[in-house]
Amino acid sequence: MTMAPMLAYLLDWAGLLIRWLHIIAGIAWIGASFYFVWLDNHLLPPASDADPRVAGEVWAVHGGGFYRAQKFRVAPAALPPTLHWFYWEAYTTWLSGFALLCLLYFLRAEAYLIDPAVANLSKPEAIAIALAVIGASWLAYDTLCRSAPGDKPRFLAATLAVMVCLLAWGLCQLFGGRGAFMIYGAALGTLMVANVLFVIIPGQRELVRAKVEGREPDPATGVRGKQRSVHNTYFTLPVLFVMISNHYAMTYSGPHNWLVLIALSFAGACIRAWFVARHKPAQRTAVASALPAVLAAMSLAAVVLALAPRVPAAAGAGSLAADAGLRAQWIVERRCVPCHATAPTQPGFSAAPNGLILESMDQLRAHLPDVQQQLALHAMPLGNLTGMTEDERSQLLAWLARAAP
């Protein structure tokens, strides 16, 4: 193996292992987050003989045993010798995610981040803008939460919704769809972990410090931490959607991809709101608790209908030149095969994307629907690395329409 294929091979392994770590840490973080939201919403008044500092408790059975969890209004009379914290799950998720962002979307920005048809950015420009957007998103969000209007939940929620919509729209005007979606997810993920790092954990440390020093803890720190924790739970499903969106070009390749991103983020937040409402005993049978689920379903249905493919009519037998098949083969060999080959010649690829080999027209016909969709969505060639022209794309799509059953 030459150095270039070996490097691409090692980068693929690095990507696989970091992605694995990212998923493991993410499951631990999101699982803990979801559990504590569930716990808060299932608390019942404590027993009559309970410590008056206890705000609520919940009994549960799991794994062959019974558990009793209690939550204090502020803090217990004395701290126990062992106190468990939850923060390395969040930090590990972000660190591994950022490493993955650098490895794929920054190191290979020309393929995954930049689309000259959207904005003719250089690689350093694209990376600098992406990092600036991620950092500025946190500064704007944190400033808003700490401002006087930040104490008004409805106003804050509406303002954050507008900010998130502007973020989605702006990124889709700067980067290719796949890259725009991923930077959007990275920005929301950064808000989440920064909430843990700069607000939630410092607040918890202050509560512990106050108890150790014999001071009465300030309940305001808990209120601020609770606010950011609630925000995190609604950011979670939009971020998870972004993590899987790169496998579905139909979501990010269209001209109105920013609307798709906003609609699916809204659906994710609504689904989470429905789950939270279902956790609260008083709302389980209320009609209002079903409203978020209805809104999510409507949003998802609208996106599915809007992105439905418009199947073009097959061209007539005499409308294509006699050498259309040869022309199609020429396009495939020069624009598709450099990546989709047993031994790719395109720099940065050690194996064909998704294991799809297109070295012969028979192999192309075997994957006809997938190839047609990726071409029609402009998802392939990836980042148009091989320089397929719009005329070539149209010619190949016309030939594929004729070749389809």
CA dihedral over 15, 19, 25, 30, signed as positive or negative: positive
3-state SS assignment for residue 62: strand
| Bridge partners, residue 247, by sequence | none
Given a contact cutoff of 8 angstroms between Cβ atoms, the answer to whether 364 and 297 are in contact is no
Structure-token pair, residue 204: 């918890």
**In the predicted model, is pLDDT for residue 44 greater than 80?**
yes
User: Beta-carbon neighbour count of residue 379 at 10 Å?
Assistant: 19
**pLDDT interval class at 356 (50, 70, 90):** confident
Percent of the chain whose predicted confidence (pLDDT) is above 70: 93
Structure-token pair, residue 124: 């350093």
Please write the tens of the pLDDT for every residue from 335-355.
Answer: 888 888 888 888 777 777 777
3-state SS assignment for residue 218: coil
DSSP letters of 132-154? HHHHHHHHHHHHHHHSGGGG-HH
Closest-CA residue to 33 (of 226, 300, 278, 281): 226
Please write the tens of the pLDDT for every residue from 242-262.
Answer: 999 988 888 998 889 999 999
Given a contact cutoff of 8 angstroms between Cβ atoms, the answer to whether 364 and 371 are in contact is yes
How far, in Å, CA of 143 to CA of 137, rounded? 10
Please write the tens of the pLDDT for every residue from 77-120.
Answer: 888 899 999 999 999 999 999 999 999 999 999 889 998 889 99
Structure-token pair, residue 250: 């139909």
Structure-token pair, residue 369: 């629907």
Q: Estimate to the nearest angstrom the gap between the alpha carbon of 385 and the chain centroid.
A: 25
Please write the tens of the pLDDT for every residue from 117-135.
Answer: 899 999 999 999 999 999 9
DSSP state of 114: -
How far, in Å, CA of 380 to CA of 397, rounded? 12
Closest-CA residue to 118 (of 169, 164, 185): 169
Closest-CA residue to 192 (of 91, 82, 81): 91
**pLDDT interval class at 387 (50, 70, 90):** confident
How far, in Å, CA of 168 to CA of 181, rounded? 8
Q: Return the domain boundaries, the chain.
A: 87-306, 324-403
Q: Which of residues 180 and 280 earns the better pLDDT score?
A: 180
In this predicted structure, what is the pLDDT of residue 288? 62
In this predicted structure, what is the pLDDT of residue 3? 47
Residues sharing a CB contact under 8 Å with residue 339, sequence separation 6 or more, in sequence order: 346, 349, 352, 353, 381, 382, 385, 386
Residues sharing a CB contact under 8 Å with residue 198, sequence separation 6 or more, in sequence order: 142
Length of the chain: 405
Mean pLDDT of 375-389: 82
Residue type, 337: V
Lowest-confidence segment of 48-57, 201-210, 251-260 by average pLDDT: 48-57
pTM of the model: 0.85
In this predicted structure, what is the pLDDT of residue 321? 47
Phi, psi values for residue 70, rounded to 5°:
-125, 145
